[in-house]
């Protein structure tokens, strides 16, 4: 019987050690889970902030690129091909572009080309105005504000 008692005591000791080990493991797992949760929360905040910064930067870049490209293109075309009104078409002013084109050809035909000088002068002045404005000012005036002349 004493052997059984010793065996029973040994089994109880081992069972107690196993329970204690399991409790320590559970506590450690809970600690790791809490740390992982905090790291995930920090990572989520970082990703959220980065995504927000990226979206803002992308919007700013898009706004600058579209405004600047039209500004330079319209300005150069106004100076070079002003009498044809191509710069008006680039900015979306189709009616004004057609007016410049018709006036150039009709006055040019009637005055043997001198009328094209008038629309050429208008194009030159507009091209200089376009190119001397800041990107934001150009965008707000000619693309948002839709100001077709000077």
Angstrom distance (rounded) from CA 127 to CA 78: 5
**Within a domain: 105:** yes
**Within a domain: 86:** yes
Q: Does the model's pTM come out above 0.85?
A: no
**Within a domain: 149:** no
**Within a domain: 131:** yes
**Within a domain: 124:** yes
pLDDT of residue 79: 92
pLDDT of residue 126: 92
Mean pLDDT by runs of 10 across the 150 residues of the chain is 66 76 81 81 71 62 57 90 88 89 84 80 91 87 76
Secondary-structure percent of the chain, ordered helix, strand, coil, rounded to 5: 90, 0, 10
The count of structural domains within the chain is 1
**Within a domain: 22:** yes
Q: If you write DSSP's letter for every residue of 43-72 in order, what string do you get?
A: HHHHHHHHHHHHHHHHHHHHHHHHHHHHHH
Supply the range of the domain harboring residue 136: 2-144
| SS3 state of residue 139 | helix
Paired tokens of 38: 């905090």
**Within a domain: 150:** no
């Amino acid at each position: 019987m004493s052997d059984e008692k010793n065996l029973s005591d040994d089994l109880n000791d081992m069972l107690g050690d196993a329970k204690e080990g399991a409790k320590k493991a559970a506590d450690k797992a809970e600690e790791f889970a809490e740390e992982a949760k905090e790291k995930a929360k920090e990572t989520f905040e970082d990703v959220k902030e980065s995504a927000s910064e990226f979206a803002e930067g992308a919007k700013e870049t898009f706004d600058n690129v579209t405004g600047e490209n039209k500004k330079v293109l319209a300005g150069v075309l106004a100076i070079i091909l002003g009498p044809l009104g191509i710069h008006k078409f680039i900015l979306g002013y189709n009616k004004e572009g057609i007016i410049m084109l018709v006036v150039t050809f009709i006055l040019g035909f009637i005055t043997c080309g001198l009328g094209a000088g008038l629309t050429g002068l208008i194009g030159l002045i507009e091209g200089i105005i376009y190119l001397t404005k800041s990107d934001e000012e150009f965008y707000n005036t000619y693309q948002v504000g839709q100001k077709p002349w000077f």
